[in-house]
């Protein structure tokens, strides 16, 4: 039968462990050791009972003896891998079983412990396995959000007020036909915002057509955007459908719209106002059903005043405006964003996901990020690849304007570290205290000081 001491409502709080051994004394000793270390342990006397506990999203690891009646540990390992090959299995072996255990690791076992093993060795291996499992499940969740239209807005990661407002506005206007102007510095994620608008709308199953106006040579700009008929100009051997016509039914994203030639802005204004496009060399007006999302890193009102951007086009676009704050103004989002990018990079490069050490996080928090989220994503890639864990040094205080004092920087880092651990442990106070290695009273004092509540992190 299965044995358990006290149970938590959510076994993922401190990490769940299935401990399988047919010897009662070994079973109870292993359970007690792991529970004293903060794990939620279910002890089973056989493989079949353990298998009833396991599913693809089970949030823990399995520790099993190899030599057991009915189904041994190797057979249990094979069954678990059929359910989820990413679920860590730790084998307990006798001295003579070590070569076999090494072979089992080649087949997918996470690790093995040779009897007799010290209690701290068991705790260490299980802690690593549970952390790996947590990261695997988090990576799956993030990938599911990124791949699903309904979760597109959730791909805009952050908890700071500016990002919360941005997500709320996207959700409010996404399923309308209102054209949108997105404001943000280079690297802040303007295209991601446009894709979130598209993915959450009824247009999500239709084309999302992106055009970077700043990267398009002026000589082909008009043809690329509006299309052309055969013979419209030298070299136009056949009809070409332009980006506007191709986007019909979906969304047209015009990045760096401030770079669009003035001569074409008036033609774009007509498309936006009348929802028709006239290809080069044609007198035919083709109806188009699309939403226009334009993005810029400059103040278009100032550009209009300077006569470098048409005022009528600016006022036509300036209906729904979404502003993305630069990363230096949302520093409290850096740990969450970095972890998000680390998980993505680990999956992309087929590397083991790992948590950034506190000294690295402190350096990340101190950096000014002139390249914004794009620069942070590159730093996460380098971290996973082991190439460079140190971002460029922060800009001098004079260049940053008003610099934070040392105490303010320490407070900000401490608050961010607490938020990161609460988020990682889904609001579990016990697990967070253990991860931070602080007394419970000190932890609650800091929650009060920084205006934090564990309930905000419970999923």
**pLDDT > 50? residue 402:** no
Radius of gyration of the chain measured on its C-alpha atoms = 28
- Predicted confidence (pLDDT) per residue in 323-368, tens digit: 999 999 999 899 888 988 888 888 788 887 777 887 888 889 889 9
What residue segments make up the domains of the chain, in order of their start?
16-146, 151-325, 328-457
Question: What homologous superfamily is domain 151-325 in, according to CATH?
Answer: P-loop containing nucleotide triphosphate hydrolases (3.40.50.300)
pTM: 0.60
Evaluate whether 16-146 and 151-325 have a shared fold: yes
Does residue 16 contact residue 39 with C-beta atoms inside 8 Å? yes
Question: CATH top-level class for 328-457?
Answer: mainly alpha
- Predicted confidence (pLDDT) per residue in 181-229, tens digit: 999 999 999 999 999 999 999 999 999 999 999 888 887 888 889 988 8
Out of 3.40.50.2300, 3.30.43.10, 3.40.50.1820, 3.40.50.620, the CATH code matching 16-146 is: 3.40.50.2300
């Amino acid at each position: 039968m299965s044995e358990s001491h006290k149970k938590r409502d959510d076994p993922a709080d401190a990490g769940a462990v299935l401990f399988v051994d047919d010897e009662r004394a070994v079973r109870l000793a292993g359970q007690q050791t792991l529970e004293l270390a903060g794990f939620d342990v279910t002890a089973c006397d056989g493989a079949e009972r353990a298998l009833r506990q396991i599913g693809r999203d089970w949030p823990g690891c399995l520790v099993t003896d190899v030599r057991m009646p009915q189904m041994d540990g190797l057979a249990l390992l094979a069954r678990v891998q059929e359910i989820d090959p990413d679920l860590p299995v730790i084998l307990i072996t006798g001295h003579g079983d070590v070569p076999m255990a090494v072979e089992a690791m080649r087949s997918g076992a996470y690790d093995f412990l040779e009897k007799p093993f010290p209690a701290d060795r068991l705790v260490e291996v299980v802690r690593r396995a549970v952390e790996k499992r947590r990261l695997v499940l988090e990576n799956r969740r993030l990938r599911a959000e990124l791949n699903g239209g309904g979760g597109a807005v959730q791909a805009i990661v952050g908890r700071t007020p500016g990002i919360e407002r941005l997500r709320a506005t996207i959700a409010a206007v996404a399923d309308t036909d209102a054209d949108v102007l997105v404001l943000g510095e280079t690297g802040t994620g303007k295209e991601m915002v446009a894709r979130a608008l598209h993915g959450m709308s009824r247009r999500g199953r239709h084309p999302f057509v992106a055009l970077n106006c700043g990267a398009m040579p002026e000589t082909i700009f008009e043809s690329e955007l509006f299309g052309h008929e055969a013979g419209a100009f030298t070299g136009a051997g056949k009809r070409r459908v332009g980006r506007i016509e191709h986007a019909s039914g979906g969304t047209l994203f015009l990045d760096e719209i401030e770079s669009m030639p003035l001569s074409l802005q008036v033609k774009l204004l007509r498309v936006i106002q009348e929802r028709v496009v006239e290809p080069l060399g044609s007198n035919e007006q083709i109806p188009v059903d699309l939403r226009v999302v334009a993005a810029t890193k400059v103040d278009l009102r100032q550009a209009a005043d300077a006569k470098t951007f048409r005022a009528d086009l600016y006022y036509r676009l300036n209906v729904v405006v979404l502003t993305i704050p630069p990363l230096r103004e949302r520093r409290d989002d850096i740990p969450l964003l970095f972890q998000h990018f680390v998980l993505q990079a680990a999956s992309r490069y087929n590397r083991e996901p790992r948590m950034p050490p506190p000294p690295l996080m402190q350096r990340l928090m101190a950096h000014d990020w002139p390249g914004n989220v794009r620069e942070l994503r590159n730093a996460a890639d380098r971290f996973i690849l082991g190439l460079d864990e140190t971002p460029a040094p922060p800009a001098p205080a004079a260049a940053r304007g008003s610099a934070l004092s040392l105490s303010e920087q320490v407070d900000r880092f401490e608050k961010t570290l607490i938020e990161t651990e609460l988020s990682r442990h889904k609001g579990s106070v016990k697990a967070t205290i253990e991860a931070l290695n602080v007394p419970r009273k000190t932890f609650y004092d800091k929650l009060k000081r920084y205006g934090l509540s564990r309930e905000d992190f419970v999923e």
